[in-house]
A and B are shown apart, each in its own frame.
Chain A
């Protein structure tokens, strides 16, 4: 009985499933449904905000009302706005000095950690701490360290050691404030660079060093002709990321100085926020944010083409 009823079912079932099965076997359909969630997420959370930001830059939207298309008016104003030029200058300066500092110290730290040390893994974990701590928390810590009245450094030098009679002026005038912020940024950025470069160091084959030792090389020569060239590809990637993070930094500056004293420490990101949200000029704020794009593209291209040879990036063998 069951055999007789199941026999026609066996015929029918493939016919019923057919369109579903065929649909799922059809490559274009599969591609679409597999990509749809990812594309949906990207469109919603990346393309749309970016597109909206660029659109806003060409309007005079404020928080109070939606704006009208004003073309390049926002950008024309920025070009004659000394505050914007000031922010461009400081963004480039901040990125340049901080990146240099982070890479000099980070590479040094990576070389140290690459040696055989007691508690090696523990040390490597500890090194990451400044990077793991949420930026705002470390920013607030630095805010206290740099406070005009309550800085621990001022306390140390004035009240404990008696080397100075006045408090140290960390963030009260333009240049000290600029360098103080760069110092905080370097402190925070070193671990990322150090750990990434450490990973790079460990991929260098020990046989290269052995060969160099047999040839009677000095330590400097081994660094200059083996370590450094072998590190360049990873250096390029890490530097690209680091430049982007530093150039678009916001939290450190906003938490410590809010762009002060007298706008001398505004980065493009903090200026964009200041104009757009507290100031309410969404269009102008967006224009400032958009004006960062050429700098970022340039920085990315620079570190790619100047620091790395193309073959490495494409994953081919060393030459």
Chain B
């Protein structure tokens, strides 16, 4: 549990303070269209109290506004809500323990696939999900994918937001080599990377064991060529012509990268970009804010632009996002209170200030929040508005499951790409090896 002392509060950077102020100011400005839909009847159990786990904040105001919203719920209903903030690495394990022991928090806001792994231990949240969807313009595709149990229409998770990793590049470098923006086709993108390399301002994408960035790039590479790890039924389909084409493309693309990306972890591209060693990469919005908030790197932030990942042979931008996904456990003695709390937190009066407080780190799952003031607060952040408005997810095109999470955590796609990039394997052999590993992972 994070306790904020007075000293800690005083230590908060100017960025946090101004962000909070901006959040309060903007809250009045957002106009979130809401349909007039009756709320589901959820009589709150007498004497109800709730305990919730969620991942720690990106930015301080996230936690403050979240706690303030929970306090408003307590005021309105008398239900005490205790919220514990847990480190990102720990939340999966704590969810597993909670699910397996049938004790602990009533609600957990986990990541992406968690509700699908523990589906049998959860109560459905279909009623509040349908209510919120009708009221706020419908759920975006990624939210539907992560919320609804595969093969049914039942909601087992309530997505709160997602964070995606588009291209981030230096405008000056792009102009220098004669481009306005990164081309959406493979040939054009390769041409851009070659010219950047020739100008000694190379691109760089993580090919090391980086859970977020590595998978983001490998998924983009394969998806944008029309390949995918598993098909709609969860059958392994990685060893395909499209995958081999993608890996052949990588063989040409990889030499244009800044050297060493095979050893890159999740933080490496942030460091290389901040040091002007790498001029085009893919990352979440955190990179931009860390540049912007440090006076020394502020000029880099001003020179930076975001752009969705190139479409390749597809008609959409093949990118997924890390999703916050809330679930209510069957062992909770107060299921109505828990669902009422989740619905309350997603209502515009609470959700919009929270979205604004997050500065764009998290993007909304409900269509109506596209009008939130956060997306006009900084034009360079506006692109993240559509993070959940896409048709791709980790484990595309299969059902979201334990196995899709494992394939992600074991870097099956990343290592397939890295083995080709480093010349250790031919594209065909790498695709076969990925197939072998995926078969094992998806065998159940």
Which residues of A are interface residues toward B (Cβ below 8 A)? 62-66, 77, 82-83, 147-150, 166-167, 169-174, 177, 257-263, 274-275, 277-281
The smallest beta-carbon distance between B201 and chain A, in angstroms, is 14
CB interface residues, B 256-282, toward A, < 8 Å: 258-265, 268, 271-272, 275, 277-278
Question: Does B272 lie within 8 Å of A149, measured CB to CB?
Answer: yes
Q: Is the CB of B402 within 8 A of A259?
A: no
| A-B residue pairs, 7 tightest by C-beta | A148-B260, A258-B209, A278-B409, A171-B263, A261-B262, A63-B96, A172-B263
C-alpha gap A274/B211 in the complex (Å): 12
From B39-47, B380-388, B415-423, give the one contacting chain A: B415-423
User: Number of contact residues on B: which range applies?
Assistant: 35 or more
* A183 CA to B96 CA, complexed, in Å: 38
Quick one: closest A residue to B418, CB to CB?
A262
State the B residues within 8 Å of A (CB). 92-93, 96, 99-100, 117-118, 208-209, 211, 258-265, 268, 271-272, 275, 277-278, 402, 405-406, 409-410, 415, 418-419, 422, 424, 433, 437, 440
A262–B419 touching, CB < 8 Å: yes
* Cβ contacts under 8 Å, B437 to chain A: 83
Chain A to chain B contacts (Cβ below 8 Å), 20 pairs: A64-B118, A148-B261, A149-B258, A149-B268, A149-B271, A149-B278, A150-B271, A150-B275, A166-B259, A167-B259, A169-B259, A257-B208, A257-B263, A258-B209, A258-B265, A260-B262, A261-B262, A261-B263, A262-B415, A278-B211
The reply to whether B259 and A261 contact each other, CB–CB distance below 8 Å, is: no
CA distance A181 to B258 in the complex (A): 23
**How many Å from the CB of B254 to the closest CB on chain A?**
12
A259: chain B residues within 8 A (beta carbon): 209
Taking the nearest CB of chain A, how far is it from the CB of B245, in angstroms?
21
Residues of A within 8 A of B209 (CB): 257-260
Smallest beta-carbon distance B399→chain A, Å:
15
With contact pairs A64-B402, A280-B402, A280-B406 given, residues A260 and B93 touching in the complex (Cβ less than 8 Å): no
Inter-chain contact A275/B402, CB cutoff 8 Å: no
Which residue from B99, B260, B402 sits with its C-beta under 8 Å from A149?
B260
Known: A149-B268, A166-B259, A257-B263. A262 touches B410 (CB 8 A): no
Decide if B406 touches A173 in the complex (CB within 8 Å).
no
Q: Could you tell me the distance between the alpha carbons of A16 and B143 in the complex, rounded to whole angstroms? A: 76
Identify the closest chain A residue to B420 (Cβ). A262
Report the minimum CB–CB distance from B352 to chain A (whole Å). Answer: 35
| Alpha-carbon separation in the docked complex, A275 to B263 (Å) | 20
- Looking at A172, A258, A261, the one whose CB has the most chain B CB atoms below 10 A away is A261
Which residues of the partner chain A approach B433 to less than 8 Å between Cβ atoms? Answer: 82
Q: Which residues of B contact A260 (CB under 8 A)?
A: 208-209, 262-263, 418
Q: How far is the CA of A62 from the CA of B441 in the complex (A)?
A: 11
If A150-B271, A260-B208 touch, whether A278 touches B410 (CB-CB below 8 Å) is yes
A167-B259, A260-B263, A262-B424 known; A149-B410 Cβ under 8 A: no
Among residues of A, the one whose C-beta sits closest to the C-beta of B262 is A261
Contact of B418 among A65, A261, A279, A280 (CB under 8 A): A261
Chain B residues whose C-beta falls within 8 Å of the C-beta of A66 in the assembled complex: 100
User: How far, in Å, is B436 (CB) from chain A's closest CB?
Assistant: 9
Q: How far is the CB of B402 from chain A (nearest CB, A)?
A: 5
In the bound complex, residues from chain A placing their C-beta under 8 Å from that of B415 are 262-263
B262 to chain A, nearest CB (A): 4
Could you tell me if A148 and B264 are in contact, using CB atoms closer than 8 angstroms?
Answer: yes
- By a CB distance below 8 angstroms, the chain B residues around A169 are 259-260
Complex interface: chain B residues within 8 A of A170 (CB) = 263
Q: Are B422's CB and A279's CB within 8 A?
A: no
Expressed in whole angstroms, the Cα–Cα distance for A62 and B96 within the complex equals: 10
Question: Could you tell me if A281 and B260 are in contact, using CB atoms closer than 8 angstroms?
Answer: no
A258/B410 contact (C-beta < 8 A), A66-B100, A77-B440, A173-B262 known? no
Which residues of the partner chain B approach A262 to less than 8 Å between Cβ atoms? Answer: 262, 415, 418-419, 422, 424
Chain B nearest Cβ from A13, distance in angstroms: 52
Within the complex, the shortest CB–CB distance from A260 to chain B, in Å, comes to 5
Beyond A148-B268, A177-B263, A262-B419, list 17 extra A-B contacts (CB 8 Å).
A64-B96, A64-B99, A64-B100, A64-B118, A148-B260, A148-B261, A148-B264, A149-B268, A149-B278, A169-B260, A171-B263, A260-B208, A261-B208, A262-B418, A278-B409, A279-B406, A280-B405
What is the chain B residue whose CB lies nearest that of A143?
A: B265
Contact residues in B for A277 (Cβ distance below 8 Å) = 93
**How far is the CB of A52 from the nearest CB of chain B, in Å?**
15
**A280 and B100 contact, CB distance less than 8 A:** no
Q: Cα distance A149–B261 when bound, in Å?
A: 9
A167 & B260 in contact (Cβ 8 Å cutoff)? yes
A297 to B268, CA, bound (A): 39
Minimum C-beta distance from A279 to chain B (A): 5
Which residues of B lie under 8 Å from residue A275 when comparing CB positions? 410
Q: Give A66 to B100 CA distance when docked, in angstroms.
A: 8
Interfacial chain B residues near A64, Cβ < 8 Å:
96, 99-100, 117-118, 402
Could you tell me the distance between the alpha carbons of A53 and B278 in the complex, rounded to whole angstroms? 44
Residues of A within 8 A of B277 (CB): 149
Q: Which of A172, A263, A274, A279 sits near B260, CB closer than 8 Å?
A: A172
Contact residues in A for B263 (Cβ distance below 8 Å): 148, 170-172, 177, 257, 260-261
For B96, the chain A residues whose CB sits under 8 A away are 63-64
Tell whether, in the assembled complex, residue A172 and residue B259 are in contact, meaning their CB atoms are under 8 Å apart: yes
Contacts of A177 on B, CB cut-off 8 Å? 263
Question: Chain B contacts of A258 at CB under 8 A?
Answer: 208-209, 265
Question: Cα distance A263–B275 when bound, in Å?
Answer: 28
